[in-house]
Amino acid sequence: MPVSKAIVLYYSTGDQAQAAKARGVFMRYGVRIRPVTAEQLNEAVGSFAGLDVPKPEQAEHAPVEESMMIFINMSTPQLYTVLTALDHAGVPRAVIKSILTADNARWSFYHLYDELKKERAAMEGKLPKA
């Protein structure tokens, strides 16, 4: 059964100060925190929201080197409020952030991380020349 309350899937690379700041913001705004461990990075992102999605193919991946936050069931105003609060709390903007979509719900965290890194590189004009 899919969740209906605002939730964030949070993979932390180990920066305890950053994680504490983020958790404080989520708690203040009533966002349920679902920690994601390194052992769970091969699982489908949508499975954490209770969606019935196929298990992604298991493959070798480079480690996820950055913290990730995937927001689920948040209205646009609520999302902007939380993102602004994260910024004011000192959580680095470089933390990879996404919302759960019909497409990325089927992806593993590794796949989502790779896609978001490509998007960031494109926005920053850092894509390799073809």
117 in any annotated domain: yes
d(C-alpha 101, C-alpha 46), whole Å = 8
Helix (H) / strand (E) containing 112: helix 109-123
Contacts of 57 (CB under 8 A, 6+ apart): none
85 in any annotated domain: yes
Mean pLDDT across the stretch 55-74? 88
In which domain, by residue range, is 16 found?
Answer: 7-123
63 in any annotated domain: yes
128 in any annotated domain: no
d(C-alpha 107, C-alpha 43), whole Å = 8
* Cβ atoms of 117 and 96 closer than 8 Å: yes
**Number of folded domains that form the chain:** 1
* Cβ atoms of 62 and 114 closer than 8 Å: no
CATH of the domain at 45: 3.30.429
129 in any annotated domain: no
Mean pLDDT across the stretch 50-58? 85
Point out which residues pair with 44 in neighbouring strands.
Answer: 108
- Express each pLDDT in 81-115 by its tens digit: 999 999 999 998 888 999 999 999 999 999 999 99
* Model pTM above 0.85: yes
